[in-house]
Amino acid sequence: MTQNTSLRRDDDAAARRLAETFSTETIDALIKDAKATGTPLDGVGGLLNQMTKAVLERSLQAEMADHVGYDSGDPSGYGSGNSRNGKSTKTVATANGPVEIDVPRDRNGSFEPVIAGETCPSYRQYRRYDLVVVFPWDDDAGYRGASA
């Protein structure tokens, strides 16, 4: 099996999971709300960029929880030696234009995000950003990175 076949199968599986998660009614409601408020579907201020921002920020929260070893607000994190320490903003390039995201920080300054980190080629070189979400609890996931 070639790498392209494997990637295509992974993409097909991801598309099925997405279709199962977002019902037709949910997608229709999002589009209807966007039209009602004058929000375009694509482009800098569009619905797709708003969804990209939400997915990236949630992914960063999951990465931070994995990094510090506890979820936000979990009392087990008190006195753990490292904790969340606010957020900073970063702009990432996407196929629909730039998206400004909030990136969490840790007190020790050791958190280096994978999904939108400095070493992500799409951030460094402002190429098209193919979003691949890696959740630390998903054993089947693998980071494929960004493509040109």
Q: Where are the domains of the chain?
A: 1-38, 52-148
Helices of type H across the chain = 3-21, 24-37, 47-68, 121-125
Higher pLDDT, 39 or 8: 39
Quote the distance between the C-alpha of residue 8 and its chain's center: 20
Which residue has tokens 């990175």? Answer: 145
Of 7-16, 64-73, 113-122, 139-148, give the lowest mean pLDDT range.
Answer: 139-148
pLDDT exceeds 90 at position 72: no
127 near 93, Cβ under 8 Å?
yes
Higher pLDDT, 127 or 60: 60
pLDDT exceeds 90 at position 134: no
Surface-to-core class of residue 118, CB atoms within 10 Å of its CB (0-12 exposed, 13-18 middle, 19+ buried): exposed
Q: Is the dihedral of CA 66, 72, 76, 80 positive or negative?
A: positive
pLDDT exceeds 70 at position 45: yes
Predicted pLDDT at 50: 93
**Count of CB atoms within 10 A of residue 61's CB?**
15
The predicted-structure confidence for 78-126, as pLDDT tens digits, reads as follows: 888 888 889 999 888 888 888 999 999 999 999 998 887 665 544 443 3
Q: What is the mean pLDDT of the chain?
A: 77
Higher pLDDT, 136 or 51: 51
Predicted pLDDT at 6: 66
Residues of the chain with pLDDT > 70, as a percent, come to 74
